[in-house]
Structure 1
């Protein structure tokens, strides 16, 4: 029996050596699968060429027998839940000129169409369209609208390449946004959330407040201009319960338009794309409240009746200054549906062609220090003001020259009511009886108009019956 035992020992040792040679503890390598680029059997075109197709067609356009594939890069990411069954793509990973929202009946998308992924979109069978003023969309026709590409057709129409590009966000100020920025990846700089979300040492969430239904909509404001924008977060997002950052800084995301195409909105992929660690840039304000009665003596009263209509205002002691653009404050007379109050003043940039238009109308110095009571009254109206802005400001350090206007510190007169865009255009709105008695020092009141020749911000504001009283 001894030889048998010896043979068994050698057999066991041999099997041990065999297995130890097949498996190394730390050097085992998983099989590597090489992804190959797709073979596109058709014409590869720029995504930006779809802009021309839209311009040539007033209604929905369905691609047929073109054999065209649009090259694009994914800039949305639905991993955090802020996008759902929608893929945002743009024509280039850097400095894009065009973007589009592709409607797909598939979720999640990030596992296959990740951020930066290059794709080819097979256009035949898809329909292109957009609502008036809103961003373009691509999908399958559903009656008179753009429907979602069915899940079974997604891979046929959205072909994934092997390339994941480094997407570089286009840096923009809020005031620099234009319609072609829609559906592109943008970094908004020098911005903060409105101070109303941080009152009484509290902080509002992204989208978990009681009034938030489908989206939490928050006001995002510029630190360098009067521009504002609606920041939207889905109530289905993973980060809806996080608090908004209280500081100023920048954030990266997708520029969109609201449902009716009236204004810009903004969606982020992740809260990691929000960097707001700077100090807040809240504007200076003057506020003494509303006075019960006007001051006893009229100091300045202006009704513009002595001005030449359709000409720039020319009032002794006042400054009518164009900071940028071509449009000054002018006198006008209108007896139609948009009636003036006799001769009134107006500022606007309709058909101006100006990239920006900033016009100032500034009073003579107001003697705050020599009086115990000072009050201000005026009336405003608007003609489709849209995204243009009228501000009422006060400065104690303006040197009285046009050159010094931009260098001076101007603070908002908080209690003065100004007509809103949704106010009926024929109405005139009273400012209220604004108390200026607590303002710190003699200074100047300015009516500043901000607009542009762009359709979204080429509105008009009207002004009349300015009365400043002292006692």
Structure 2
């Protein structure tokens, strides 16, 4: 009897040993070497992410780190700022070069999921660069293995060879930025936007939008964040595979932490969060702009309150006269008259504004009409035409103010609201076509009003330095 029990225990031991041998270590949360500091060899080279980016620039594009002689290795250090625990990242980790005040970041593609159990937020890692390739994918710098002129993910069997955990887990301090600070060298950094909110059309009303759970969301849900004040827009991008895709967007305002990156088509900057816990919207007082939205009228009157086709303006000079206020708030570019033929022809003499070629880090320009008394003209309408030369995420808005006193020094401090019914050419519109605004109804407005075209852009980034053209402005009753 005793011999039989010993035999059973022996069989059980053999079975457990065999079972454990068949299970891959990646199935468990944490490797045994969790708290062991990694020390490169005396003759190994340790590089900062900035140095890797510098090497990429010097090489002129995609390149592969070749092995060093004598068995030595190159390593890149970085701190993990992404987490796939919420499903918003997939088979990649994003690294930045320092826990606080970072200056460089990069994406590492790995054919392993999940990764947060191995490389948690704040974990310092070493990337063995030998045999890996650095490339730009959709405008974002990434590391993987070469596949022709592109990169693939580091295969799972090579993960332990190329990605080494250090014992350090740092506290990551978000880098506070404003939207105007966005630039290519800020990509792949963990940033904080303060005093922002989601666009009113997405969170107010009977059915607020979710992060990425709408029927129209295919791969990512793109939602509009706005700064307070100013309502400058930035896109929050959320994967439709994220665990929180069906949660409603918060309607308050506050701060949000996330990773600055580019959209799939490299058309504009986006922010990606690790989880909804990165959103701290505790202020219930929204900063929505004043709206003058009476819709579109079917006809316009014959009584001219203000007209300008700009034919009397001097081409390539700033617009002046006829009651216009042409004000440059930031930068060097104002609204100028121009004439041109070809595909993107002007309408005789038209007006254009843009940051392209200016060298301006920020361009904000205004073209403001003389005062219009809406009380004395209850059936007033406004119309114009607009075109663009690849507006490239720069922005042209039609605004109005009831309290601007006519002094250019007070433009920025006056209260300006939106006139959303007017159609203004979009970046997706063909650049050779002039688009009608529609006959914008002003009948729900009151008091003395100035209307303004405001351009916002910059020449520090090619994605924000586009050009707009306007012509045939009519205010009638």
* Equivalent residue, structure 1, for 2:379: 373
Aligned twin of 1:186: 191
Q: Structure 1 residues 429 and 397, CA, compared in 2 at 3 Å: closer, same or farther? A: same
- Give distance in 1, aligned partners of 2:296 and 2:218: 36
User: What pairs up with 1:340-419 in 2 under 5 angstroms?
Assistant: 340-419=346-425
The Cα shift of 1:124 comes to 0.5
1:455 aligns with 2:462: yes
3-state SS, counterpart of residue 201 of structure 1? coil
Counterpart position of 1:205: 210
| Match of residue 67 from structure 2 | 65
Residue from 113, 119, 122 that aligns with 1:116: 122
- How many Å apart are 1:197 and its aligned residue? 2.0
Displacement, 1:414?
Answer: 1.7
Match of 1:467? 474
Asked if the contact 1:197/1:204 (under 8 Å) is kept, the reply is yes
Residue 33 of structure 1 and its aligned partner are, at CA, apart by: 9.0
- Between the aligned partners of 2:310 and 2:377, the Cα distance in structure 1 is 26
Paired residue for 1:82? 88
Q: Is the Cα contact below 8 Å between 1:175 and 1:225 reproduced in 2? A: no
Q: Deviation per CA, 1:82-137, whole angstroms, max 9, x where unpaired?
A: 11110100111111111111000112211121111111111111000013x61101
Larger deviation, residues 216-225 vs 421-430: 216-225
Q: Which residue number in structure 2 is paired with residue 250 of structure 1? A: 255
Q: Residue 200 of structure 1: CA displacement?
A: 3.1
How far does the alpha carbon of each residue in 1:57-99 deviate from its partner, in whole angstroms, 9 at most, with x for none?
Answer: 3442110124321111110111111111101001111111111
**TM-score in terms of structure 1 length:** 0.90
Aligned to 2:431: 425
Q: Are 1:169 and 1:186, in contact at CA under 8 Å, matched by a contact in 2?
A: yes
State the TM-score, normalizing by the size of structure 2.
0.89
Aligned residues of 2:34 and 2:167 also touching (Cα < 8 A) = no
Aligned residues: 438
Report if aligned partners of 1:173, 1:190 keep a CA contact under 8 Å in 2.
Answer: no
Q: Among residues 58, 62, 76, which one is paired with 1:56 in the alignment?
A: 58
Cα deviation digits, residues 14-60 of structure 1 (max 9, x gap): xxxxxxxxxxxxxxxxxx99933112121111111121122123442
Q: Structure 2 vs 1, CA of residues 314 and 37 (structure 1 numbering), >3 Å: closer, same or farther?
A: same
Instruction: Output the CA distance in 2 between the equivalents of 1:214 and 1:306.
Output: 51
The aligned counterpart of 1:96 is: 102
2: distance between equivalents of 1:424 and 1:211? 24
Gaps of 5+ in 1: 1-31
Distance 1:77 1:99 in 2: 15
- Could you tell me whether the CA contact under 8 Å between 2:37 and 2:167 is conserved in 1? yes
How far off its partner does 1:409 sit? 0.4
Cα distance in 1 for residues equivalent to 2:157 and 2:211: 34
Superposed CA RMSD:
1.6
Shift of 1:362: 0.7
CA-to-aligned-CA distance 1:299-325 (integer Å, 9 cap, x gap): 211011111111111114211110110
CA distance in 1, matches of 2:93, 2:219: 19
Cα deviation, residue 353, structure 1: 1.0
Q: Distance in 1 between matches of 2:81 and 2:243?
A: 19
Contact map agreement 1:258 1:265 (CA 8 A) in 2: yes
Q: Matches of residues 279-318 of structure 1 in structure 2 within 5 Å?
A: 279-318=285-324
3-state SS of paired residue (2:443) = coil
Q: Once the 2 structures are TM-superposed, how far is the Cα of residue 253 of structure 1 from its aligned partner?
A: 1.1
Whole-angstrom distance in 1 between the partners of 2:411 and 2:33: 65
